[in-house]
Amino acid sequence: MNFKKFSKLGQAFMLPISILPVAGLLLGIGGALSNTNTIAQFPALNNQVLQTIFTIMSTAGNAVFANIALIFAIGVAVGLAEADKGTAGLSAAVSYLVFTATISGYLQLFAAKDAKIDTGVLGALVIGLVVVYLHNHYRKIELPSFLGFFGGPRFIPIVSAFAAIFIASAFYLIWPPIQGGLVVLGQKIAAMGSIGSFFYGFFLRLTGALGLHHTIYPMFWYTSLGGSEQVAGQTIQGAQNIFFAQLADPNHTGLFTYGTRFFAGRFATMIFGLPAACLAMYHSIPKSNRKKNASFYSSSALTSLLTGITEPIEFSFLFVAPWLYVIHAFLDGLSFFAADLLSIRIGNSFSGGLIDFLIFGVFQGNSHTNWLLVLPLGAAWFALYYFVFKFFVTKFKVAVPGMLADNVAPSEISKKSNLYDQAQEIITALGSADNIEDVTACATRLRVSLKDSKLVKQDQLKQIGATAVLDVQGGIQAIYGSKAILYSQEINQILGREE
């Protein structure tokens, strides 16, 4: 798989992952406020109406996490389908249901009663990719006249269902040893202890520079690579699956699962570290340039602090000083290392910002999470990031926004007055509509597949507001923050590619 396809797969993961914050919000608040310990501590919550609301919130949120594999199968199919995405999504849903039912049938016929095969997100990924292949190749198929009703897009759910039976048969034979291998690998990673947590955080941050982290962490979050635990009498696999299962279990006592080490290291970096880096860079640029760059640094810091979205500030120094990004990745890895040593057990739904910290840390109680330890760790990380960035940016005159006279932060560059005009400008900067093969977006990046990347006018993209433009095989990634998804929709509408 080439870089362009691999990157597009990571972007497709973002569709199902984007559902998790809302589901986590419902489960986190509902589970915390319906917990017997919380009720005992705050008697005002012992109200039938309130407890009904909190229980429904918890149940509704848990429904998403209980069906995360199905959601991933649909999301991958929708994200990678070239057209008629609705049919692709329906086909993936049917195919995955047939897939799981077939495996269940084999287990009932040939295995012990307590035997279990849980393919998790990997099974969903295989189903999604097979459905996408069938959909993109055969959605316009013409069948003989007596079968004409089943031609075209109607053919895809049918052929996908039959394909799912064969895929399930193969998984029934090959998955048990693979699953056993993942369990062993997960155990070895756990046995590495805090050092393993460091390497996870370090390499996850490094791959984030190319937007490939979305293809890595789901393996730890949703498969046995992230651990296995018995929760409420059921075997749960995957770090996030385990965390939310414990969150939904009213009888859970003590600290949450050790698998939270794949999340807990984020909070010191995103809430404290990167905002400190913003302050350090702001203090490093000439005083004459600070006022016109203040809004960029303050908004980037606030975005990282509240939501855990870090690209706006990271891409202000990634391309002008890649070595500084490596230092940042190293510090982030140390954050995971320190959180592991301190037994901080806070999970998250999507990121490591203040919102997730409050819901999955503070609201769950210190006895479950050790959230109080994040405060001194965060204070240390604020000081560490500030002095590291202040030293290196000042000493090497790193060309962060505002360092040079003509180096103005993207938020200060004049832009077209409306979204349509901005999208037209981007199309022109990409070498015209004829040069554009595909346009998608993740949380902050506009991802464009192109016929000829040499036609791209990167300076023009930056004038429209891109923090940075990354050349990738077969296209570019332009960092537009929260407007990336809006630009993607508008460009596709202009190009007539919305289905």
Instruction: Give the catalytic positions in this structure.
Output: 442
- For residue 88, give the nearest of 156, 36, 6 by alpha carbon: 156
- The tokens describing 298, both together, are 């303050």
Q: Which helix (H) or strand (E) holds 106?
A: helix 85-110
Residues 192-214 as b or e (16 or more Cβ within 10 Å = b): eeeebbbebbbebbbbbbebbbb
**Contacting residues for 407 by C-beta, under 8 A, at least 6 apart:** 399, 400, 401
In single-letter form, the type of residue at position 18 comes to S
DSSP code per residue over 7-57: HHHHHHHHHHHTTHHHHHHHHHHHHHHTSHHHHHH-GGG--HHHHHHHHHH
**Contacting residues for 2 by C-beta, under 8 A, at least 6 apart:** 473, 474
Residues 159-172 as b or e (16 or more Cβ within 10 Å = b): bbbebbeebbeebb
DSSP code per residue over 120-184: HHHHHHHHHHHHHHHHHHHTT----GGGGGG-GGGHHHHHHHHHHHHHHHHHHHHHHHHHHHHHH
- The tokens describing 300, both together, are 């980037």
Yes or no: say if 280 and 328 are a contact pair by the CB < 8 Å rule.
no
Taking the CA atoms of 341, 347, 352 and 355 in sequence, report the sign of the dihedral they define.
negative
Yes or no: say if 281 and 389 are a contact pair by the CB < 8 Å rule.
yes
**Contacting residues for 302 by C-beta, under 8 A, at least 6 apart:** 275
Which three-class secondary structure state does DSSP give residue 480?
Answer: coil
Yes or no: say if 238 and 220 are a contact pair by the CB < 8 Å rule.
yes
Cα gap 89→110, rounded to integer Å: 32
- The tokens describing 342, both together, are 């301190």
- Cα radius of gyration rounded to whole Å, the chain: 24
